[in-house]
Amino acid sequence: MEGALACRFIVDKIAASDTLRLNGGAGHGRPDRQFTGRCNVKVPVEITINGKSYSGEVEARQLLVHFIREEVGLTGTKVGCDTSQCGSCTVKLDGAATKACTVLTVQASGSEVTTIEGLADGSDLHPLQEAFWNKHGLQCGFCTPGMIIAADELLRKNPSPSRSEIRHGLEGNICRCTGYQNIVLAVEDAARSMGGA
């Protein structure tokens, strides 16, 4: 099997298998398996992002983060590395915080994605967004979208985290500016306003 046929075979295998979902969560983003082959086969996808359905054809090798940023135009989600380390690309994929640079677009077909743009309720900021604003949990802001999505998952799993649990919960997200202290304070503040700690 060679050329386009081989690519098609791989794409079908990936699309059909949940076990090839690449990332378990924001803090644990090493891929189980990476699809690195050169493959220009176009594959139809349909993905719901922030409640709106997007469909089209994408290259089989395209990463979800590039679909979100370049095809849908939601640039709040950032690309900060090419090694699945920084967490700046973190989105919710079917509710789970996921590094969007570790998932192929084709793997996300049929799924629901929430990006930082979808977290607010209209003009009302999400409590985490408010808290990052109020507690100065950012400087350049590059890591902030991924940090907030990861913090959202943390607070859903643990509504009253200790400071050390917050640090542990966000260990898959790297910030090069803040020294993390105000990020921890912001998450603590959001937990309080969301009815937790």
State the residues that interact with ligand FES by CB under 6 A: 29, 79-81, 84-89, 99, 101, 138-143, 175-178
Minimum CB distance to ligand FES smaller for 86 or for 119 = 86
Minimum CB distance to ligand FES smaller for 177 or for 194 = 177
Minimum CB distance to ligand FES smaller for 7 or for 100 = 100
> Least distance in Å: CB of 194 to ligand FES?
22
Closest to 134 (Cα-Cα) out of 64, 62, 197, 183: 183
> Least distance in Å: CB of 149 to ligand FES?
12
Minimum CB distance to ligand FES smaller for 31 or for 56 = 31
Alpha-carbon span 182 to 131, nearest angstrom: 10
> Least distance in Å: CB of 56 to ligand FES?
22
Closest to 19 (Cα-Cα) out of 36, 32, 37, 30: 32
Minimum CB distance to ligand FES smaller for 6 or for 140 = 140
> Least distance in Å: CB of 180 to ligand FES?
9
Mutual orientation of helices 181-193 and 144-157 as an angle, nearest 10°?
50
Alpha-carbon span 163 to 167, nearest angstrom: 6
Token pair 């937790």: residue = 196
CA 187 to centroid of chain Cα atoms: 18
**First and final C-alpha spacing in the chain:** 57
> Least distance in Å: CB of 130 to ligand FES?
17
